[in-house]
Structure 1
Amino acid sequence: MAPEVSPSQATNATEPPCRNARMQPTKYDHGWRRVVRNFTPSWFSVTMGTGIVSLLLHNLPYNGTWLYWISVVIFALNVLLFITGSIISILRYTLYPEIFLAMIKHPVQSMFIGTFPMGLATIINMFCLVCVPAWGEWARYFAWGLWIFDAVVSVMTALSLPFILMANGGETHLSSMTAVWLLPIVSCIVAASSGAIVAEVLPNPQHALWTVIISYVLWGIGLPLALMVMVIYLQRLVLHKLPPKAVIVSVFLPLGPLGQGGYGAMKLGQRAQEIFPKTHTLQEASGPTFYTLGFLVALIMWSFGLVWLFFAIASIAHNKKFPFNIGWWGFTFPLGVFATSTCQMGSELPSNFFDILGTV
C-alpha cells in the first residue's frame, strides 16, 4: 500500500529535473529561484486561514470597534499574502512549465489548487463588508467581477481535479487517501456562500437574482460531492486507521464543507427571501420557504459537523504530539467556517447559546 504523503513531502515530486543529484548545485538551488521553484499551491492555505480569521473578527457576535480594525488589518495582510503568492506562482509556472504538468498529476499537490479560489473568496467577502461601504458604486461591481472569476475557477477545479485523479494511469490505494481530496470540491461551496454576500451589495435585483441562482448551483455541485468523499474518508479511517502524525491535522478538513455549506444555505436563504419577491421569482411564499429550508439544512449539517469535530479532537488527543508543518493551517479554516456557521445560527435564533459557542 502507498503511504500517505504530507504537503511538504510532496514538493519534491513537482521539482523539474534541473540537475543530477551528484552534480554541483546550480543557480536554481539558491536565492529567489529556489523559493519560486519550491512554492507549491499548498501555500494558499495560508490565505484561507488568514482570510477566515479576518471574517470571524469582523462578524463576531460580541464585537467592538477595536476588533473591527484588527479585522481590517488582517484583511490587508491577507490581500498582500494572496498577491505575493499569485506572483510567485505565475513566475513558477512561467520559468518552469514542466512543473505544472507534474503538479497536476500529483495526487496530493494537485488537490491544493482548490486553496486558490477559497483564499480569493475570503478576500471577496471582506471586500464586500469593508470596502464596498467605503468606496461606493464601482466597488460593488468590482466585487461581482471577482466573484464571477472565483466561481469559474472553483467549478473548473472541482470538476477537473477529481477526473484527473480518476484518469491518472497509476493505481490509487485507499490507504493513501487523505482529507485533502475535499479541497478542490469545497471551493464550490465557499464560492456559493460568497455569492450570497456579493448579492447583498448588488444594487440591481436582477443581477442579485442571477448571483443567488448560480450560487445555489455551485452549492449543489460541491456539497453532495463532498459528502461522498467524506464517506470514502470514513471508510479509509476505519480500515487503515488514523493518518500519520505528519498529516494528522487533515482530520479537521471535513468540518469545512459542513460548516461552510450550512453557512451558505442560511445566507442564500436570506437573499432568496429578499430578492424573490422583488423579481417576481416563483411564488410569493418561495422566498420564506428557501429561508426556512436553508436554516433546517444548516442545523442538520452543523449537527453532523459535531461528529467530525469529535473525531478530529479525539484523533489529535490520541496522537498527543505531532510535527509542526504547513499542514497546521488545516486547523484554521475548517474550525473558522464551523464557527461562522455557529455564529450565523445565533443571529437567526432568539438564543444566546450559538452566539456564545461561536465566540468561544
Structure 2
Amino acid sequence: MSSCCDKSCPSRMVNSSHLSQEDTGVESGDSICPDGNVDNNVGEESQGENTRDPENQLSDGDFEALSKNDQGWRKIVRNFTPSWFTVNMGTGIVSILLFNLPYNGVWLYWISVVIFGLNTILFSTFLTISILRYTLWPEIWGVMLKHQVQSLFIGTFPMGFSTIVSMISLVCSPVWGNWVQIVTWALWIVDSVISLACAVGFPFMLMIPGRQTDLPSMTAVWLLPVVSTIVAASTGAVVADYLPTPQLSLWTIIASYILWGLGILFSMIILAVYFKRLALYKLPPKAMIVSTCIPLGPMGQGGFVILKLGVDAKKFFPLNNTLDATAGDVFYAVGFMIALILWGFGLLWMLSAIISIAQCKRIPFSMGWWASIFPLGVYANCTILMAKEMPSQFFKVLGTILSLCVLILWIIVSAGTIREVITGRVFFAPCLSDLRVQRKKRLGIKAN
C-alpha cells in the first residue's frame, strides 16, 4: 500500500518504538512525513550520500551552520510549514458552528467568541512566524513552491483567514457599526485575491519543469488551493449581509457567485481524477487515510455558499432593481436545489471517508489530522443553513449532531497537537530536505 503515496517527499524515519509496520501500512525502509506522506526512497538517498566522494562532503563549518538552524527558535521557524494554517481552518469553523447552532444559548455564543479570539491569536502568531521564515531564509520559499505536497497547503492560508473575517462580520459588525463593516469588506477583498491567486496558480504549480507528478502520488490535498475560492465566496455571502449600502452588497454577491463557480467546477474536475486514482490504486496508506475527508469540503462549503447567496439575492436584488423583480426568488430557489444536490453528493464522500478510516486499526497522528475538521465543519454548517431555510427539524437535529462531532474532533486533535509541540516532533518540514540536497550538490560542484 505504500506504493500509493508520494515518493518524492523527503522525511524522517518512522520510530519503531512508537509505530509498527502493521500500524502505519508502511513497508520496511519507508518513512512518514508529519503531513502524512510516505517516502520509499530515504534508504536509497542515505546510501547515496554515504558513498559520496569525500571531497564533495560538507565542511565542518557547513555542518555547524546546519546544526545551528536545527536548534531552538530557529528550528521552529525554519520548519514552520504552510500546513499549520489548517489549525486556523479547524478552529475557525468550530467558532462559526457554535455561533450558528440551531439549539443555541448565550453561553454558547460566548464560547464561540472565545474560540474566535483564540483563532485570531493563533493566526497572527502563525503569520508572524511564516514572515520570519521566508525573510530569514528566502531560499525556502522557492523550494516550498516546488515541493509536490507542501506547495498545495498554501491554500490553507486564505481559508484560515476567511474564518476570521466571517466571525468579524457575525460578531463585531452588528455591535461596532459601519467602520467595522467597511474594514471587514476590505479584508474579504484581500482574502479573495489571495484565494484566486492560489486557485489560478495551482495548475501552473503542477507544470513546473522538473516537478514529476504521477497519478499514484495524487491525494485529496490537490483540492486545497481550489477550495479556497469557495471559502472566500462563503465569506462574501456572510459579509454582504452587513455592508452599509445595498450597492456594495450587490457587488459582493456577484463577485462571490464568480468565485463559487470557479472553485466548485474546478473541484469537480479534481474529484474525478481523484476517484480514478482511488479506483486504480486503492485507498491511501494509514498515514494518509485522514485525507479522504477533504473531498467533503467543496461539497459542504459549496452547498452553503450557493444557498446563502440565494438568500442574499432574494434580499438585495429588489433593492438594487437587478434583473427582473422575481430574479431574487429564482436565484434563491435554484440555489436551494443546487445546495441539496451538493449536500447529497457530500454525504457519499462523508460515508466513504468514515468507512475508509474505520477499517484502519490505528492511525499515526500528524498535522494532516487538522485537514479533516474543516470539511466536516462546513458540511455541518450547510446542514444548519438548510434546516433554517426549509425549515426542517430533521436537518436541525442532524446539523447539531454533526457540529458536536466536529467539536469533539477538534478537542482530540488539539490535544494531540499540543503533545507533539511539547516533544518538538511536529516541527519538521519535508521541503527542507530538498534544500539540503541542493546545497550539497552546489558545494560538491565547487569542490570539484
Secondary structure at the residue paired with 2:365? coil
In the alignment, what sits opposite 1:91? 132
Superposition CA RMSD, Å:
1.8
1:61 equivalent to 2:102? Answer: yes
Are the aligned partners of 1:343 and 1:355 in contact in 2 as well (CA < 8 Å)? yes
Out of 177, 194, 218, the position equivalent to 1:177 is: 218
Q: Percent identity?
A: 56
1:209 aligns with 2:250: yes
Give 1:15's aligned residue.
Answer: none
Question: In structure 1, what is the equivalent of residue 201 of structure 2?
Answer: 160
Assess if the C-alpha contact under 8 Å between 2:236 and 2:256 holds in 1. yes
SS in 2 for 1:203: coil
Matched with 2:5 is 3
Secondary structure of 2:317's aligned partner: helix
Runs of 4+ in structure 1 deviating by more than 3 angstroms, as ranges, are 5-12, 19-22
**1:226 is aligned to 2:267:** yes
Q: In the alignment, is the contact (CA less than 8 A) between 1:7 and 1:108 conserved in 2?
A: no
From the superposition, tell whether residues 168 and 67 of structure 1 become closer, same or farther in structure 2 (CA, over 3 Å): farther
Q: 2:161 aligns with which of 80, 101, 120?
A: 120
Q: Distance in 2 between matches of 1:3 and 1:187?
A: 24
Partners of 1:255 and 1:234 in 2: CA distance: 13
After TM superposition, the structure 1 = structure 2 runs for residues 16-95 of structure 1, keeping only pairs within 5 Å, are: 20=58, 23-24=63-64, 26-95=67-136
- Residue 312 (structure 2) pairs with residue 271 (structure 1): yes
Q: Which digits, 9 at most, give the CA deviation of each residue in 1:217-263, with x for residues without a partner?
A: 00011000001101111111111111111111000000000000000
> What does the per-residue CA deviation read over 1:162-192, in whole Å, with 9 as the maximum and x for residues that have no partner?
2221234332110100000000000000000
Q: Distance in 1 between matches of 2:169 and 2:281?
A: 44
Alpha-carbon shift at residue 143 of structure 1 (Å): 0.3
Asked if the contact 1:10–1:109 (Cα under 8 Å) also holds between the matched residues in 2, the reply is no
Q: Which amino acid aligns with 2:257?
A: Y
Larger Rg: 2
Are residues 1:292 and 2:333 paired?
yes
On the 8 A contact 1:189/1:218 being kept in 2, the answer is: yes
Structure 1: runs of 5 or more not aligned: 13-18
Are the aligned partners of 1:205 and 1:278 in contact in 2 as well (CA < 8 Å)? yes
Rate the CA distance shift 1:9–1:29 in 2: closer, same or farther, 3 A: farther
Change (3 A) 1:264 1:21: farther
CA contact (8 A) 2:36 2:287 kept: no
Q: Structure 1 pair 173/201, CA: closer, same or farther in 2 (3 Å)? A: same
Q: Which has the higher contact order (CA 8 A, sep 6+)?
A: 2
C-alpha distance in 2 between matches for 1:222 and 1:264: 11
Matches within 5 A, 1:244-259: 244-259=285-300
Write the distance in 2 (CA, Å) between the matches of 1:287 and 1:280: 10
Counterpart-to-counterpart distance in 2, 1:320 and 1:103:
33
The answer on 1:200 being equivalent to 2:274 is no
- Checking the alignment, whether the CA contact within 8 Å between 1:105 and 1:168 is kept in structure 2 is no
For normalisation by structure 2, the TM-score amounts to 0.77
**Residue aligned with 2:257, SS:** helix
Residues of 2 paired with 1:233 and 1:139: CA distance?
Answer: 41
SS at match of 1:26: helix
C-alpha distance in structure 1 between counterparts of 2:155 and 2:330, whole Å: 32
1:3 alignment partner AA: C
TM-score (norm 1): 0.95
Are the equivalent residues in 2 in contact too, given 1:11–1:38 (CA < 8 A)? no
Count of residue pairs brought into register by the alignment: 354
Q: Report the CA distance shift for 1:357/1:20 in structure 2 as closer, same or farther (over 3 A).
A: farther
Query: SS of the residue aligned with 2:359?
Result: helix
Q: C-alpha distance in 1, partners of 2:365/2:144?
A: 24
SS at structure 1 position matched to 2:396: helix
Residue aligning to 1:16: none
Find the aligned partners of 2:59 and 2:78 in 1 and give their Cα distance: 16
